[in-house]
């Protein structure tokens, strides 16, 4: 949603080049950006690309274009050219009109349905252990991208492909059979996913002991890993599961049900949800029809051992196994089948896979195979690859000392939020339940914002203490700004029908705030097109920062004229609405009071 003034500027700049230099300037050669704070103006046209048509220095070209625009756009009251940048100043009347006719309207930033359907697949947990810090980034990214795309007009399906079968699941099951003594989540007081994870760890410890014993008896490590009795028993259990053994299936269903109950509690605290669950136990045999289809089409080939492959060397990749010689699936087989199943179920034009960057190569291969098979929907597939999350060394070790448990991290965030909030005295007049609600909002807001403000592809260092800072580039700073605005509005008895006229002359901080609020639809559009919640997160911070500048520079409640007071209350209310709407698309709630 390029705003109208930018469309006008593009149009008149092209006309200027046509008339002044007898040349056609393509749309993509007109770059308009916000004017840097140290210069006069609000919008800037980059002149350098135009000099190849004007054959004149940037300063001269900028002055000629600026003079042309000024003569045709009444909103333009002044311009200056600095090196290759043409800085434009728009009239206060333009900003007043933008505020009244767009920003103050109830549907501002709301996009109409675009008639397109899209799936976002995220979370994808294993049912042998609890969710961890990496899963938190995955879930928050998936949920926020889905929310932003929905706001942009898509029909969105949120999907979760659960890895609920395989040798790792059998390890937990076998350990529980051996050492569980009938323990359940109810009898132990543990969340179901933590209980099952405990037995996965017990299996791992026993397995390592057996490997060490075999090595002590002269076996190589590789042979010891294969021959350890406990791993062979787990493999036998997997074969029994695949054969439909009633006892094994019953235990599998019971332990998975414990895990799902635990996951739902974690998802509930994270504030994420799903429209559709897929389970690997239902999909792991899929894909074999597609392998046959590929053989028939000559896309795949068989080797002497009966295994099926695809040669992608001409595409800069390698040969890829797609079916084992004994006819059993590999991961890519299942993923081919699941991709087809998802399309058959929903018929979406686009599908986004939110998966860590360690799987970059896998998705390149998967999407390329589907294109070679002639699947018309394959061009709509996208891997939203994200980087690892690191913690400052020595902090927040998990129960197993390897990865940070999601529930533990959320507990710590809320506890830290409580300490910080009480230190700053921001809970006066709140009841115990209101305080606890506030600590949850701030703790979870800090966690979510810190993980979402960084571009997905970047690896990030998550510092829990840095994330809960009421003055920094953080969620709590934005939340506190929202609460501050709500307090101002309450003291001013604000209502939407308060009569207000935008002043003839705006202060710099008022003008800057209106300009920033006016960018909201364009930010939603950019975040949607680039699958980047970071763009929206950073925008919310800029709005909060600019509001605080306005709050400190201008008198609101004690303004000399009622019209000015009312206008500033409306401007405050519009800011609060924009912050709340933007943060909601990040999955972050903002408090009414602090």
d(CA 121, CA 278): 10
Element housing 354 (H / E): strand 350-356
467 burial level (CB within 10 Å; 0-12, 13-18, 19+) = buried
Q: Do the beta carbons of residue 563 and residue 478 sit within 8 Å?
A: no
> Residue 167: which of 75, 271, 237 has the closest Cα?
237
> Residue 130: which of 239, 338, 269, 280 has the closest Cα?
269
Tell me the C-alpha to C-alpha distance, in Å, between residue 83 and each of 20, 36, 582. 20, 13, 36
User: 3-class SS at 413?
Assistant: helix
Q: Structure tokens of 565?
A: 């007071």
> 3-state SS of 252-295?
HHHHHHHHHHHHHHHHHHHCCCCCEEEEHHHHCCCCHHHHHHHH
Q: Structure tokens of 176?
A: 């529980």
> 3-state SS of 172-224?
HHHHHHHHCCCCCHHHHCCCHHHHHHHHHHHHHHHHHHHHHHHHHCCCCHHHH
Element housing 323 (H / E): strand 319-323
Scan for tokens 């929907």, then name that residue. Answer: 377
438 burial level (CB within 10 Å; 0-12, 13-18, 19+) = buried
Four-point Cα dihedral 7, 9, 13, 15, nearest 10: 60
What pLDDT, on a 0 to 100 scale, did the predictor assign at position 395? 46
What pLDDT, on a 0 to 100 scale, did the predictor assign at position 183? 97
User: Mind listing the pLDDT tens digit of every residue in the chain (594 residues)?
Assistant: 346 788 899 999 999 999 999 999 998 889 999 999 899 999 999 999 999 999 999 999 999 999 999 999 999 999 999 989 999 999 999 999 999 989 999 889 999 999 999 999 999 999 999 999 889 999 999 999 999 999 999 999 999 999 999 899 999 999 999 999 999 999 999 999 999 999 999 999 999 999 999 999 999 999 999 999 999 999 999 999 999 999 999 999 999 999 999 999 999 999 999 999 999 999 888 899 999 999 999 999 999 999 999 999 999 999 999 999 998 888 899 999 999 999 999 999 999 999 999 999 999 999 999 999 999 999 999 999 999 988 776 444 444 455 789 999 999 999 999 999 888 887 888 899 999 999 999 999 999 999 999 999 999 888 888 898 888 999 999 999 999 999 999 999 999 887 767 777 899 999 999 999 999 999 999 999 999 999 999 999 999 999 999 999 999 999 988 889 999 999 999 999 999 999 999 999 999 988
| Full DSSP string of 115-161 | S-EEEEE----BTTS--BHHHHHHHHHHHHHHHHHHHTT-EEEEEEE
> Residue 583: which of 551, 552, 545, 543 has the closest Cα?
543
Q: Do the beta carbons of residue 585 and residue 536 sit within 8 Å?
A: yes
> Residue 2: which of 528, 548, 587, 522 has the closest Cα?
522
Q: Do the beta carbons of residue 565 and residue 559 sit within 8 Å?
A: yes
3-state percent breakdown (helix, strand, coil) of the chain, nearest 5: 60, 10, 30
What pLDDT, on a 0 to 100 scale, did the predictor assign at position 391? 79
What pLDDT, on a 0 to 100 scale, did the predictor assign at position 397? 43
Q: Structure tokens of 349?
A: 């034009």
d(CA 321, CA 317): 13
Q: Do the beta carbons of residue 191 and residue 265 sit within 8 Å?
A: yes
> Structure pTM?
0.92
What pLDDT, on a 0 to 100 scale, did the predictor assign at position 396? 44
Backbone angles phi, psi at 337, to 5 degrees: -65, -40
d(CA 465, CA 444): 13
d(CA 97, CA 476): 32
Cα four-point dihedral sign 391, 394, 398, 403: positive
> Residue 53: which of 30, 70, 32 has the closest Cα?
30
Report strand pairing: 155-162 vs 276-279.
parallel
d(CA 533, CA 111): 17
Element housing 386 (H / E): strand 381-386
Q: Structure tokens of 395?
A: 């902090």
d(CA 553, CA 326): 75
d(CA 258, CA 281): 17
What is the per-residue pLDDT across 303-357, written as a single tens digit (0 to 9) for each? Answer: 999 999 999 999 999 999 999 999 888 889 999 999 999 999 999 999 999 999 9
d(CA 379, CA 366): 12
What pLDDT, on a 0 to 100 scale, did the predictor assign at position 42? 94
Phi-psi region of 2 (alpha: psi -120 to 50; beta: other; left: phi over 0): beta
d(CA 142, CA 267): 12
Q: Structure tokens of 415?
A: 């506890």
In angstroms, how far is CA 163 from the centroid of its own chain?
A: 22
d(CA 541, CA 537): 7
State the maximum Cα–Cα separation within the chain, in Å, rounded to a whole number. 92
Scan for tokens 């002149």, then name that residue. Answer: 47
Report strand pairing: 85-90 vs 76-82.
antiparallel
d(CA 236, CA 167): 10
**Side-chain-facing half-sphere of 16: CA atoms under 13 Å:** 25
> Residue 520: which of 92, 145, 104, 54 has the closest Cα?
104
Backbone angles phi, psi at 383, to 5 degrees: -95, 110
Q: Report the interhelical angle of 246-270 vs 406-423 (nearest 10°).
A: 20
């Amino acid at each position: 949603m390029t705003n109208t003034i930018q469309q006008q500027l593009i149009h008149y700049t092209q006309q200027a080049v046509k008339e002044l230099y007898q040349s056609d300037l393509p749309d993509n050669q007109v770059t308009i950006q916000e004017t840097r704070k140290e210069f006069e103006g609000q919008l800037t046209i980059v002149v350098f690309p135009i000099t190849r048509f004007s054959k004149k220095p940037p300063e001269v070209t900028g002055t000629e274009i600026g003079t042309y625009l000024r003569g045709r756009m009444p909103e333009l009251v002044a311009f200056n050219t600095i090196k290759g940048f043409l800085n434009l100043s728009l009239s206060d009347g333009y900003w007043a009109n933008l505020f009244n006719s767009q920003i103050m309207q109830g549907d501002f930033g709301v996009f109409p349905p675009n008639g397109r359907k899209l799936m976002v697949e995220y979370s994808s947990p294993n049912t042998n252990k609890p969710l961890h810090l990496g899963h938190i980034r995955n879930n928050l990214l998936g949920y926020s991208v889905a929310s932003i795309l929905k706001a942009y007009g898509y029909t969105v399906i949120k999907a979760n492909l659960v890895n609920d079968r395989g040798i790792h699941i059998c390890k937990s099951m076998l350990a529980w059979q051996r050492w569980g003594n009938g323990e359940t989540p109810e009898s132990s007081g543990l969340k179901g996913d933590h209980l099952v994870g405990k037995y996965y760890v017990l299996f791992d410890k026993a397995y390592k002991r057996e490997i060490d014993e075999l090595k002590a008896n002269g076996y190589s490590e590789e042979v010891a890993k294969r021959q350890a009795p406990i791993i062979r028993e787990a493999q036998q259990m997997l074969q029994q599961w695949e054969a439909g053994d009633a006892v094994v299936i019953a235990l599998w269903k019971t332990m998975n049900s414990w895990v799902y109950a635990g996951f739902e509690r974690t998802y509930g605290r994270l504030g994420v949800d799903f429209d559709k669950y897929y389970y690997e136990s239902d999909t792991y045999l899929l894909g074999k029809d597609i392998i046959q289809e590929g053989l028939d089409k000559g896309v795949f080939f068989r080797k002497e051992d009966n295994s099926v492959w695809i040669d992608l060397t001409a595409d800069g990749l390698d040969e890829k196994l797609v079916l084992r010689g004994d006819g059993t699936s590999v991961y890519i087989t299942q993923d081919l089948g699941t991709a087809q199943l998802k399309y058959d179920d929903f018929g979406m034009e686009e599908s986004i896979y939110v998966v860590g960057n360690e799987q970059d190569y896998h998705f390149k291969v998967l999407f390329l195979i589907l294109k070679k098979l002639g699947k018309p929907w394959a061009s709509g597939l996208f891997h939203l690859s994200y980087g690892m999350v690191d913690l400052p060394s020595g902090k927040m070790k998990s129960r197993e000392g390897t990865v940070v448990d999601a529930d533990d991290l959320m507990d710590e965030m809320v506890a830290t939020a409580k300490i910080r909030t009480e230190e700053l005295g921001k809970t006066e007049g709140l009841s115990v339940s209101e305080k606890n609600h506030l600590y949850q909002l701030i703790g979870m807001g800090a966690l979510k914002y810190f993980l979402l403000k960084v571009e997905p592809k970047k690896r990030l260092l998550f510092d829990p203490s840095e994330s809960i800072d009421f003055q920094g580039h953080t969620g709590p700073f934005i939340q506190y700004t929202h609460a501050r605005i709500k307090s101002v509005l309450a003291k001013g008895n604000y209502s939407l029908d308060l009569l207000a006229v935008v002043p003839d002359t705006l202060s710099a901080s008022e003008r800057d705030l209106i300009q920033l609020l006016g960018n909201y639809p364009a930010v939603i559009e950019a975040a949607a097109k680039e699958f980047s919640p970071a763009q929206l997160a950073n925008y919310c911070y800029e709005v909060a920062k600019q509001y605080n500048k306005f709050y400190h520079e201008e008198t609101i409640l004690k303004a000399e004229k009622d019209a000015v007071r009312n206008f500033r209350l409306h401007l405050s209310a519009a800011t609060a609405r924009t912050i709340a709407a933007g943060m909601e698309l990040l999955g972050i709630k903002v408090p009414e009071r602090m």
